[in-house]
Structure 1
Amino acid sequence: MATKSKKRRFKTKVVLIFDLILIILALGIGYYFVMASKMQVDKSADSSIVTNVLDDKDMKGYRNIGIFGVDSRDNALKSDTHSDTIVIVSINRKTKDVKLASIYRDTYSLIPNDDNAFNKINAAYFKGGYSLALSTINTNFDLDVKDFVTVNFDAVCKVIDLLGGVSLDITPEELKYVNGYTKELNKINGTKVGKLKHAGTQVVNGTHATAYARIRYTKGDDFKRAERQRIVIQKIFEKAKKADIKTLNSILNEILPKIYTNIDSVEMLSLAKDILSYNITDQTGFPYEKRAFTYHRVSYVFPVDLTANVTKLHQFLYGTTDYAPTEKVKEISAKLKEITDNN
């Protein structure tokens, strides 16, 4: 009888422990959804996102997200603001490897649903918000990006500050521009961050790191700026993976209200559960082969042979070695060749 009584008590304890674990999990998930509800989630234009006719079987193993950093002096997120940062984040669903591809903001592109006019690619977000921006990316580069996240200057600054800063190598040439943009960011964000005193490798705060990512007037111009933006993204990612729960909680509290996205709470949870498994393995700027010149009194970046650039982009993102661009991309490529041949 004593043995049966002990067995019953043991079973009761197991059930209680199991119930406790379920309650803790439920509370944790509930807390997450309360936190995630602070995001500005907008799916209203999802149905109008254009994707080109695709023939890249390797793409199916990846999730692609468009990251937009908007150039808004009042930290607006949704439209009427140019996307000065455009990064395609490609996540390998199996290996969790992540690749980053910056799209140069001045890239001369077909803007669909805008009388099929050509313009700088960053104008798409200004004209039609996230839907037109993603449609433009998909149409010109044969991609199927349907998810996006938009952030503003203030959000980036705060996240880096909460992580305790990030280490950057600031050149003497970059130093004066970092300090110049720091002054501008102070006005935008209502802060009083001082100047950096010297160049070199150093841990910088959020304002200085964001200022660094905005520099475009050094050797390399906008191409170098896109590289700086990818460096800052990678530094944030690496630091966040090592952060403790308290820090991550503070970051969520601070950044979620400043995020505009069409990824809802359930989808975000699916992404977040694998965060420690993600590794940024490679990064690049696009287009690869390019020319920058003034056309109709405006400075643009022109892909040299868009079809070849798109094939190379698919190889970078998905490992596809024989991708053949669609007829739409070939049509756009012919238009660009006509312009570049005459300039």
Structure 2
Amino acid sequence: MDPRIKLRIEYLKANLKYLNDNELAEYNRLTGQSLSHDPKPNARTSHEQAVWSDVDTDYNQTASRDNVYHNSYDDIENNHHQNSKGQALSAGFRKQLKPKNTAPKSKKPKKQRKKASFWKKVRRVIVLILLLMIGFFIWGYYRGKTNAPDGLKTEKFAGEKPSSGATNILILGTDQRDFQTTGDARSDSIMVMQINNKDNKVKLVSFMRDTLVYQPGVSQYGADTKLNVAYNIGEQEGNEGADYMREVLKQNFDINIQYYALVNFNSFATVIDSLYPFGVKIDAQFSTIDGKKVDSVDVPDDLNWTPTHQNPIQTIKVGKQRMDGRTLLNYARFRKDDEGDYGRTKRQQQVMQAIMSGVKNPLTLFTGSAALGTIKGVTSTNVSNIFMLTHAPSLAMDASKGITSYTVPENGDWIDAYDQYGGLGLQIDFTKYQAKLKDLLG
């Protein structure tokens, strides 16, 4: 039997009680029966009664299945067509839909949906902040490039990471002016800054420039060359002043240094003015001069020094104030009070602490990024852009808690001695300071 005819018979039989006259006639024709609509069950023949009993049973089974399956059917066309054998076939069949899952859908707790939404918003905010920081960094970089000294480039630096896992950065403040080359400059300030240490502290070690040290290939009688000469010698031999300073510090103090940054007069002022447009808060202090206490000091105005105007002066008062980049530079370089070079080193540390502690203001998240870009644009450094951006927030947080500062040598802990050129320098106990630096920096 044709499967379609069989399917039609099963459908008509399942719905026999509800067939109209035409549908009942179709069922009789397909099955060879002679059923008729009879509202009185008792009037049925025994054969019809048996058939209707089967129909009732099929109907009840179908009704029970309807609790699980929801069937939907298209309208059956009333017109039928004859097939090639003359049999009447229905033009369409009702379609049975797929069973629906009647089980109630589980709903996520509202609290979980809110939590997911909250973290999604947090991620968006973080991404937005990072994009803004990168944008400010790029803007600061190109702003810095317009003020960069001629011939600025990254020098060769064979840095070594300390075994402790921390990061040591050599910071050299040079006395190079814009009309000079690096070969004419010496290192005015020599510092090693340590970050990413186990203590989560920023540590700053300053080395006095007149400390007598051994310099490979230069010193003739042991530790007989001033430390600040190392940068100048290295620059004259292949522009490797920073790397030669790294080598000298390693030789004399057993310090491994990974990165470097060179900052000259103009670069320093540019960075300060970009990071602190309203000035840096600082409490200016000087030692006595010729044994007398002072209320103000006339200091050399280094940024305004030119070959034709070699002695410009700026007056700085003692006490709390805000300093722009030019004034802060002049304050940090002054050494004509009774503490001499030690007093200058102390003021340089004070300046670094004031600069770094000030970045805890939330607004400097973006101005700080711009300043980082400016630093990158005006300084020679091997610190990567990625390192700057990713470490700046943690550095700012650690610095806002205070900076651990140390000076080599300590005040008065030296013997006056002469270098190989006849200049007066500071002779120190290297074994003692190697141990102290090992304890401080790891």
Give the TM-score category using the shorter length. 0.7 to 0.9
What's the counterpart of residue 13 of structure 2? none
**Structure 2 vs 1, CA of residues 64 and 255 (structure 1 numbering), >3 Å: closer, same or farther?**
closer
What's the counterpart of residue 351 of structure 2? 232
CA offsets 1:36-87 (integer angstroms, 9 cap, x no match): 866899666233x5x7xx9xx9x51422111100011227685542111001
Q: How does 1:249-288 map to 2 (within 5 A)?
A: 249-252=369-372, 254-274=374-394, 275-278=396-399, 279-288=401-410
1:205 counterpart (296, 301, 324): 324
1:60 aligns with 2:60: no
1:165 Cα deviation after fit: 2.6
Q: Distance in 1 between matches of 2:114 and 2:358?
A: 44
Partner SS for 1:273: helix
1:158 aligns with 2:262: no
What's the counterpart of residue 333 of structure 1? none
1:46 aligns with 2:157: yes
Q: Distance in 2 between matches of 1:11 and 1:270?
A: 27
1:201 Cα deviation after fit: 3.3
Aligned residues: 306
What is the RMSD computed on CA atoms of the aligned residues? 4.1
Partner SS for 1:168: strand
Partner SS for 2:177: coil
Q: Distance in 1 between matches of 2:196 and 2:124?
A: 35
1:290 aligns with 2:414: yes
**Structure 2 vs 1, CA of residues 113 and 96 (structure 1 numbering), >3 Å: closer, same or farther?**
farther
Q: Distance in 2 between matches of 1:26 and 1:231?
A: 31
What's the counterpart of residue 139 of structure 1? 251
1:214 Cα deviation after fit: 0.7
2:433 counterpart (309, 324, 336): 309
Partner SS for 1:72: coil
What's the counterpart of residue 330 of structure 1? none
Whether the 8 Å contact between 2:226 and 2:419 is mirrored in structure 1 is no
Q: How does 1:96-115 map to 2 (within 5 A)?
A: 96-112=200-216, 114=218
1:266 Cα deviation after fit: 2.2
> Which of the two has greater helix per residue?
1
Partner SS for 1:101: strand
More off after superposition, 25-34 vs 64-73: 25-34
Q: Distance in 2 between matches of 1:116 and 1:143?
A: 23
More off after superposition, 200-209 vs 216-225: 200-209
Letter in 1 for 2:418: T
1:181 counterpart (300, 303, 313): 300
Q: Distance in 2 between matches of 1:80 and 1:86?
A: 17
CA offsets 1:5-48 (integer angstroms, 9 cap, x no match): xx9x999978985885575366346536746866899666233x
Q: Distance in 2 between matches of 1:102 and 1:75?
A: 28
1:138 Cα deviation after fit: 0.9
Letter in 1 for 2:325: G
Whether the 8 Å contact between 2:134 and 2:369 is mirrored in structure 1 is no
> Which of the two has greater strand per residue?
1
2:231 counterpart (90, 103, 125): 125
Whether the 8 Å contact between 2:168 and 2:257 is mirrored in structure 1 is yes
**Structure 2 vs 1, CA of residues 272 and 35 (structure 1 numbering), >3 Å: closer, same or farther?**
farther
Q: Distance in 1 between matches of 2:118 and 2:439?
A: 52
What's the counterpart of residue 73 of structure 1? 177
Structure with higher RCO (Cα < 8 A, 6+ apart): 1
Q: Distance in 2 between matches of 1:261 and 1:103?
A: 20
1:148 Cα deviation after fit: 1.0
**Structure 2 vs 1, CA of residues 104 and 231 (structure 1 numbering), >3 Å: closer, same or farther?**
same
**Structure 2 vs 1, CA of residues 10 and 219 (structure 1 numbering), >3 Å: closer, same or farther?**
closer
CA offsets 1:130-169 (integer angstroms, 9 cap, x no match): 1111111111101111211111222332343452232222
Partner SS for 1:90: strand
Q: Distance in 1 between matches of 2:203 and 2:116?
A: 49
Partner SS for 2:298: helix
**Structure 2 vs 1, CA of residues 295 and 78 (structure 1 numbering), >3 Å: closer, same or farther?**
closer
Q: Distance in 1 between matches of 2:432 and 2:357?
A: 33
Q: Distance in 2 between matches of 1:120 and 1:37?
A: 35
